Amino acid sequence: MNILLLSMPDSFEHMPTVAIRMPNAALTSLAGNIDPHHEVAVADLILVQARVRQTVERLVREINPDVLGLSVMTFQRKTAKRIVDLVRSLRADVRVVVGGYDPSLAPEAYTDPSQGAVDFIVRGEGEITFRELLRAIENQSGYDRISGLSYRSGDRFSHNPDRPISDLESGEVRLPNRDARVLRGYTTLGRQADVIETSRGCTFDCSFCSIIEMRGRNFHTYPLDRVVADIRDACNHGARAIFIVDDNIMLNVRRFEALCRAIIDAGLHTIDYTVQAMTSVIANHGERLAPLMRRAGFRYVFLGVENILDEDLAFLRARSKNTRREDGRKTGNAAIAAINYLHRNKIYVIGGLIIGNPTDTRASLEANLEFARAYVDWPFIQHPTPYPRTPMTQEFRRQGLIVNDRFEEYDGTTAVVQSSHLSAEEIEFVRWQADRWVKLGHLPVAFAHSPLFVLRNWPWMLAHLFRGSTIKSLLGLEDPHQAFVRYRALRQAEREYL
C-alpha cells in the first residue's frame, strides 16, 4: 500500500521560522516500523507553512495514498480536520488514521462524523499498533484484535484495550526511516537539524503533563548502541544539530553519563546537541555532569525551571524535580545552581517557565520574567494550558478559570485561562511585552554561537520578535496595547493554513 504520513504546520511561536524547524520524530519512527513492502512518505508540513494546500495536493497526486496518517497535538486539531477534508476531496477512498497526544487523550474529538471523516485512532505509542493496523487493512479484518486502536464500524467507533507500554530494550521498536522524508529544510540556527530519542516516559506527576496521562508514570530506555546508531544515521542524513526529544532523560543520571561517553567514544561529539533537563539533576550533579556534557557536544539545555515561586511549583506539581539537595537535605530552588554549572561550561540555557497560574498576581509574573532576564540565554515562557485529561485541566475547570475553548489557540503562548487576580488577556500582555525584549537581549548569545547565520538573518529574526509593533510603539509614542492587538491579529491569521 501507499502511505502518506503528515505532521501539522501549526507551530509554537517561540522561534522564527528562519531560525528553527525540527522534524516530527513519531512519523519517521512509524515509517521505520511498518512492513517493508509498503511505500511510505513522511512530510512535515511545518516546512511549508506558506503553501500547505499546494503541498498536500501535490503529495496526494504523486503518492496516491491508500492510507493517510496524521500526527496531531491539541492546538493542531482544527488544521488536521481541514487537511482530512482536503485529502478526502482528492481521494475519497483513502483510509484516515490519526495519532499523537490529542487523539490519544481526546478520542471523542475525532469520532463524531460531523467533525471529520476519520477511520482509525492510534492511541498511545504507535509503532506496533500502526504496523498491525496496516496488516489488518490489507486483510480487511482483525481490527478488534489490535491493542491501542479505535476504529469506525458503521456509524459508531469501537475502542480496543490500551496497548502495554514498550520496554524498548527488546528491539521491537526499530530505528526510524529518515529516507521516507519527502520535504527538506530542517534547521537550527543555520545547521541542518534532526531529532533522536533515547528513552520514553517520566515518573514525576507534573499537573500540566500530557505524557503521563497518555502512558502512565514509567521510564523505559533504548540500549546505548541503538542510540549511537540512531545518531549516526541522523548524521549520515546530513544533521549537524540534534535535539534529543526524551521526556525526561535525566531520570537515570548514570545512564546519561554513559550516553555522553558513548557519544565521545563514537566520535559523534562534533554535533551540536540540545537536551531537556531537570534543574535538580544539574544542580545536584553538575560539577561532574556539566563538563562531561560539554565534551560530548551539548551546546543547549532546555531547563525545566517551570516557575521560581514555591506556590506555583506546588500547583504545577513540579517542586520535587526543581529542588536542590545537599547531604540529603532540601536547600531550595535548584534553578540558579543548575544554570551556573551550565554557564561555567559554556552551555547555553533555554529557560522553560510557566506563568499565569491560579494565584498569580502581576508581581509573581514579574518575578519570573526578571529571573528570565537575569539568568537564561533564551526564554521559553508559556502559559498553563488545559490540555485534555491533565490534572491541571481538572483544577482550572473546578475553579472556573478557563475562558477560551478555541483549541487552535492552545499553543502555550496564548493565555486561555485567567488567574484569581488577572484576566487572561492581561497575563498574555505582560508576557508578550516582556518576552520580546528579553529575547532581544539574548540575541548576542545566538550571534556567539552562529555569527554568520545571525548576520544574514537578523532582520527576519527581529521582525518575528516585534510582530505588531511600529516605530511609534517602539519609541513609546502609542499605547503598547495597540501593538498587542495587532500582534494577536497576526497570530490569528497565522493559524489559517488552509
pLDDT tens digits for 320-357?
Answer: 677 766 655 555 678 999 999 999 999 999 999 999 99
pLDDT of 207 reads: 92
Angle at 208 between CA 203 and CA 214, to 5 degrees: 60
Q: Are residues 202 and 250 in the same domain?
A: yes
Is 175 part of a structural domain of the chain? no
Q: What is each CA distance from 183 to 49, 178, 447, in whole angstroms? A: 12, 11, 28
For residue 180, being part of any structural domain is answered with: no
Contact 464, 45 (CB under 8 A): no
**pLDDT at position 43:** 98
**Window from 297-311, 389-403, 436-450 with minimum mean pLDDT:** 436-450
Inter-CA distances, 184 with 21, 33, 154, 498, Å:
10, 22, 39, 21
Q: How many domains does the chain have?
A: 3
pLDDT on residue 328: 55
Q: What is the CATH number of the domain that holds 65?
A: 3.40.50.2300
The answer to whether 415 and 356 are in contact (CB under 8 A) is yes
Given 140, 159, 178, the domain boundary residue is 159
- Does residue 122 belong to any structural domain of this protein? yes
Q: Please tell me whether residues 124 and 225 are part of one structural domain.
A: no
Q: How confident is the model at residue 80 (pLDDT cuts 50, 70, 90)?
A: very high
Q: All 3 cell numbers of residue 294?
A: 560539554
Dihedral angle computed from the Cα positions of residues 113, 115, 120 and 121, in that order, rounded to the nearest 10 degrees: -140
412 & 476 share domain: no
> Which of these, 343, 242, 236, 241, lies nearest to 283 by C-alpha position?
343
Q: Does the residue 171 lie in any domain?
A: no
Q: Are residues 251 and 334 in the same domain?
A: yes
Shared-domain flag, residues 194 and 309: yes
pLDDT at site 161: 97
For cell 533555554, what's the residue?
350
- Number of residues in the chain: 498
pTM, 2 dp: 0.94
Residues 255 and 304 in one domain: yes
In a domain, residue 230? The reply is yes
The number of beta carbons lying within 10 Å of the beta carbon of residue 62 is 12
Backbone angles phi, psi at 99, to 5 degrees: -155, 180
If asked whether residues 230 and 87 sit together in one domain, one would say: no
Higher-pLDDT residue of 474, 66: 66
Question: Per the structure block, which three cell numbers stand in for 124?
Answer: 498511545
Based on the fold, state whether residues 204 and 262 are members of the same structural domain.
yes
Question: Residue 130 has what pLDDT?
Answer: 98
Cβ atoms within 10 Å, residue 214: 19
- Calculate mean pLDDT across residues 198-208: 94
Q: Are 269 and 145 in the same domain?
A: no
What pLDDT shows up at residue 112?
Answer: 81
pLDDT at 146 over 80: yes
Classify residue 461: in a domain, yes or no.
no
Domain that holds residue 65: 2-159
Sheet architecture: strand order including 39-44? 39-44, 2-7, 67-71, 95-99, 120-122, 149-153, 156-159
Burial of residue 410, with CB atoms counted within 10 A of its CB: 0-12 exposed, 13-18 middle, 19 or more buried: buried
pLDDT of residue 448 exceeding 90:
no
pLDDT at res. 331: 52
Q: Which helix (H) or strand (E) holds 282?
A: helix 279-296
CB atoms within 10 A of CB 364: 21
pLDDT of residue 70: 98
Q: What CA–CA distance (Å, rounded) separates 312 from 368?
A: 11
Four-CA torsion 215, 216, 222, 227, nearest 10 degrees: 60
Q: Say which residue, 353 or 115, is predicted with more confidence.
A: 353
Asked if 248 and 123 sit in the same domain, the reply is no
Angle (nearest 5°) at CA 22 between 77 and 265? 140
E-assigned strand segments in 88-230? 95-99, 120-122, 149-153, 156-159, 187-188, 191-196, 199-202, 218-221
Q: Radius of gyration (Cα) for the chain, nearest Å? A: 22
CATH code at position 196? 3.80.30.20
Question: pLDDT averaged over the chain?
Answer: 93
Answer yes or no: is 64 within a domain: yes
Query: CA 418, CA 206: separation in Å to the nearest integer?
Result: 20
